[in-house]
Structure 1
Amino acid sequence: MRLTLRQMEIFLNVVKEGHLTNVAKEMGLSQSAISMSIKELENILGNPLFDRINKKLILNEMGRSFEKEIAPIVKRLRDIEYEFKNTANKGMVRVGASTTIVDYLMPPIICSYMNNYPNVKISLKEGNTQQIVELLKGGKIDVGFIEGIVNDSEIIKEVIGIDELVVVTADRGLNRELFIDTIQDEKWVLREKGSGTREVFLDYIKDKVDNINIFLELGHTESIKSLLLNHNCITCISKIAVRNEIKNGK
């Protein structure tokens, strides 16, 4: 038979109270259960831990030595139990998200989460779809938010929202209904390879045109928007990224 945490807790309570009746009441056990636990403990150790004097248990030298050894152990185990019971709303969540999501969707979500869980820290890594997938597979993040399509059996996926891609330009001469084959030779500015936005767009038009004139590749949606305002270029980006510009007639 081996020592149990329950036996040690009962022993320490008996040391503190001195009377089995008080310990039984405090722990919600019968007096006989407390007495039996102490006897089992003494049998395991091969020595009495108390002197029985006038129906009172007095800790003897062996008992004092045993108390000295187990008191810090029991305290540490209680601390560990408390610590783990209260970690549900603590710690750090490592999040990865594609550029468009970081810029236009994540800020209010993160603020709301931090208000609801003030003791949880958030680590946010930004990248394109391919980079976020690699971070997730490498254990560098706990969850990822992307726009692109992922065909990887190692990744657990769930659709949580639907976005719309739009073709935009500041060139007023193109401000009319057009077909992709009539603008494929325009100067296209797209996101870099690995971007979900780019992959979805090119996959959509591949059956309609052989290729488009990719004039420049940039790694950030805001950089593309700035370029479009100053040059007669064209792009395809998330509608969320240009909703303010569309609203204001830019």
Structure 2
Amino acid sequence: MTIRHLKVFVEVCENSSITKTAEIMHIAQPAISQTIADIEKYYNVILFNRINQRLVITETGKILLQKAKEVIANFDEFENLAIATLENPIIHIGASLTFGITHLPRIMNYVKQNYPNVQLLTTINNSKEIEQGVLDGTIDFGIVEGSISNKNIKIENFIDDKLLIVCGYDYPINSKITITELAREKLLLREKGSSSRDHLEHLFNLNGIECFPVMESISNQTIIEATRANLGIAVLPEALVRGHIINKKLKSIELQGVELVRKSYIISHKNKKFNNTFKQIYDYCCSFEK
């Protein structure tokens, strides 16, 4: 049973005539009769009686007519929505907090200028949450830092992201410290699950050191302000603190024997199907600073 069967049934009801319905729908008269017969046989009902060479709808037919109209209306609404979505696609991009500040605005501007009909949704969260959104299908693709191990995630290399150890410009500390000395400082860190926190804790674990921050925050800006106030030491993306260092509000500390560089990726579900517009935007993001 298809939507075509229902449309033929409704048209016959409205015209009370197989012949007239055939003319209106440009379908052969025997095909119209066969369609009605198919419906009656499939559901074991009688839709019409022939009285004085006229088709008269039965009480059962009247009940089904109303439902058929509702189904057709819903189908038409679905079809119109599908067409509108094709003409005005919705794309949901996720980004970690760092890339939400440093790169997402550029992507949004590119989409706005080149694909004005695209409805762009964005989510900024820590890398683990963006990864989960991709797995759930609520996010089409994301830009994240850190390791990705889930086999259902497809990854493309993005850019290398450098982390800096920073403190207030007047904070009393040597310009070069060891990993052990860093662990003894008052650490101002992002929340667990964030890439910068995971990266630092991995480094501590490799050296048999436990991490006990005096402050945790989901906001990079909050950590920057606390660091500028000499409340402790932070580990933050270079892109976010470069200006503060230039303006002598923060200073960078060298970690002996260690360069804090983390990989970043564009991630999508391995089963995600891309239409042409989506693929062009995805490819644009993959071409960043290669």
> Aligned with 1:75: secondary structure?
helix
> What is the CA deviation profile of residues 44-63 of structure 1, one whole-angstrom value per residue up to 9, with x for unaligned ones?
5458523354xxxx232xx1
Distance 1:244 1:22 in 2: 77
Judge conservation of contact 1:186–1:234 (CA < 8 Å) in 2: yes
Taking structure 1 as reference, are residues 11 and 234 closer, same or farther at Cα in structure 2, changes over 3 Å only? closer
Q: Which residue of 1 aligns with 2:55?
A: 59
Structure 1: stretches of 5+ with no match in the other structure: none
Distance 2:232 2:225 in 1: 11
Task: State the number of aligned residues.
Answer: 235
Distance 2:154 2:12 in 1: 55
Q: Which residue of 2 aligns with 1:238?
A: 237
Q: Which residue of 1 aligns with 2:146?
A: 148
Quote the offset at 1:249 in angstroms: 5.6
Q: Which residue of 1 aligns with 2:64?
A: 70
Q: 1:34 aligns with which of 32, 35, 57?
A: 32
Q: Which residue of 2 aligns with 1:169?
A: 167
Which of 1 and 2 has higher RCO (CA within 8 Å, sep 6+)?
A: 2
Distance 2:65 2:17 in 1: 19
Equivalent position amino acid for 1:240 in 2: A
Moved more, 165-174 or 6-15: 165-174
Moved more, 216-225 or 163-172: 163-172
Distance 1:175 1:192 in 2: 24
Quote the offset at 1:142 in angstroms: 1.9
Q: How does 1:44-123 map to 2 (within 5 A)?
A: 45=45, 48-51=48-51, 53=53, 58-60=54-56, 63-85=57-79, 86=81, 89=85, 98-106=96-104, 116-118=117-119
Taking structure 1 as reference, are residues 123 and 68 closer, same or farther at Cα in structure 2, changes over 3 Å only? farther
Task: State, as a whole percentage, how many aligned pairs show the same letter.
Answer: 23
Q: Which residue of 2 aligns with 1:15?
A: 13
> What is the CA deviation profile of residues 56-101 of structure 1, one whole-angstrom value per residue up to 9, with x for unaligned ones?
xx232xx152442122211221233233331573999888754434
> What is the CA deviation profile of residues 230-249 of structure 1, one whole-angstrom value per residue up to 9, with x for unaligned ones?
21743221233224435656
Report the TM-score when normalising by structure 1.
0.65
Aligned-residue Cα RMSD (Å) equals 4.6
Taking structure 1 as reference, are residues 47 and 77 closer, same or farther at Cα in structure 2, changes over 3 Å only? closer
Q: Which residue of 2 aligns with 1:193?
A: 192
> What is the CA deviation profile of residues 206-239 of structure 1, one whole-angstrom value per residue up to 9, with x for unaligned ones?
65x6549866332121111002222174322123
Quote the offset at 1:145 in angstroms: 5.3
Judge conservation of contact 2:93–2:122 (CA < 8 Å) in 1: yes
Structure 2: stretches of 5+ with no match in the other structure: 250-290
Equivalent position amino acid for 1:51 in 2: I
Q: How does 1:203-218 map to 2 (within 5 A)?
A: 203-204=202-203, 211=209, 216-218=214-216
Equivalent position amino acid for 1:203 in 2: H
Distance 1:146 1:4 in 2: 45
Judge conservation of contact 1:98–1:146 (CA < 8 Å) in 2: yes
Distance 1:246 1:171 in 2: 8
Taking structure 1 as reference, are residues 182 and 204 closer, same or farther at Cα in structure 2, changes over 3 Å only? closer
Quote the offset at 1:21 in angstroms: 4.5
Judge conservation of contact 1:42–1:48 (CA < 8 Å) in 2: no
Judge conservation of contact 1:129–1:147 (CA < 8 Å) in 2: yes
